[in-house]
A and B are shown apart, each in its own frame.
Chain A
Amino acid sequence: MHIAMTYTRLRTEERMLLDAFEHLGVNCTPIDLRTIVFNPLVPGEGGGQWEDYDAVIDRSVSLTNTLTSVAMLEHFGIRCINPLGAIEICADKLATTLALVRAGVPTPAIRVATNAQSGLEAIEAIGYPAVIKPTVGSWGRLVARINDRDAAEAILEHREILGSVQQGVFYIQEHIDKPDRDIRVFVVGGEPIAAIMRSSAHWVTNTARGATAQGMEITDELREISINAAAATGGDIVAVDLLECPDRGLLVNELNHSMEFRNSTETTGVNIPELVARHVVRIAEEARVESEILV
C-alpha cells in the first residue's frame, strides 16, 4: 500500500494527515506540486513516480494546482481523493447549486447574471438584502451583503471594471436571516463524522474571518441533509456548510472538497485526520484490487 499526498503548502492539516497515515502504518509520500512537470504520455516523468501509488489524496491549497494535477492523475488512471468531478462541483458555487438542485437538496435561492445590468435585475429579483459571491473563491473572500439598490449598483460596477474575468459572473444568493452561526458537517465516505457550529457577530460566519467553532451533535435532520449533499457532489471527503433558515430549516450553503479541520478535532472530540486517512486507505485498497483485476 502506497499513497501520495499532493500539496502546495504543507499546513497543519497536511501534517496531521501524514501523522495519521504513519499511525496506521501506511506509507504516504508528500509531493509538492510546485516541483512537478506532467507529461500525459509518461506518468513517471517530471518528478512524480505516479504509477507507484494506489491512490492520491489532493491537499493543494491552490484550486488551480488541484484541478491541473487531479486531471493529469486521473488521466494516468490513478484514483484521486477527491475525484475531479467532485472537485469541479465543490469549487464552483454555481456548479454546487446546480448539483444540489438536481439532487433535491434544500439550498438558498440564487440568480446568475453575466453583466452589471442583468446583475442588478438578478439582485432585485432575489430582493434586499441579497448576497453576492464570486463563483470561485473561499474563506469568505469578496462575499458581500447588498442592502439596497445604491450598494448593488456600486458593487456590480466595481466588480465589472476592477474584477477578474471570473468576477464578471454575478452569483446572487438570497440572504438567510440565520442565527449568528452556521454549521459545518464533515462527511467521510458518505458518513457524517463530526459537526461544528461557527459563531460570529459578523454575518459572515467563516473561521477564516474570525468566527469561533464549537462541536455539536449530528441530529437526524443534519445527518440526512449532509449525506444527500455530499452524495450530490460525488465527493469522498467533503465538508458541508449549512445555514439555519427560520422558515425552511436547514439549507446547504456550499461544500468544500479540501476541508480544513485543525481546530475541529479538539472541539468535536473526533479524530478527523485519522478517519480521513482510514477512508483513503480503503479507497486505495479498492483501487489496487481493481487494477489487479484489469491486469
Chain B
Amino acid sequence: MNQTTTQAETIEATCPECDAAVVFDRSPLNGEIANCTDCTAELEVICADPITLELAPEVEEDWGE
C-alpha cells in the first residue's frame, strides 16, 4: 500500500517499489496499468480513490490477445 497525493493540476501517487511520484494525466480507474518513470516498475491501480498502487501481477500463461 502507498500513500497518495492529489495536487491542483496533477494527480499523483507514490510508486510502491521506489517511492517516486507516479503522475496521471487524469483520474485512473481500478485495474489501470501505469509505469513508474523512475524505476520502470509496472504498476496496477488497485484503488482509484484514493489512488493506491501495487506492483502489477507478472504475466501469466493464459494472457495475451
Contacts and interface: CB of A to CB of B under 8 A. Distances in A.
Given A9-B44, A9-B56, A62 B62 contact: yes
B64 to A, nearest CB: 2
Contacts of B56: 9
A61 B64 contact: yes
Nearest to A66: B62
Contacts of A15: 29, 32
Contacts, number: 51
Interface residues of B, number: 15
A62 B31 contact: no
Interface of B: 29-33, 44-45, 56, 59-65
B64 A63 contact: yes
Interface residues of A, number: 26
A259 B65 contact: yes
Closest 4 CB pairs of A and B: A138-B64, A256-B65, A63-B62, A10-B32
A49 B24 CA distance: 30
Interface of A: 7-12, 15, 30, 32, 34, 61-64, 136-139, 141, 164, 239, 256-260
Nearest to B65: A256
Contacts of A136: 62
B17 to A, nearest CB: 18
Contacts of A9: 31, 33, 44, 56
A270 B33 CA distance: 24
B33 A63 contact: no
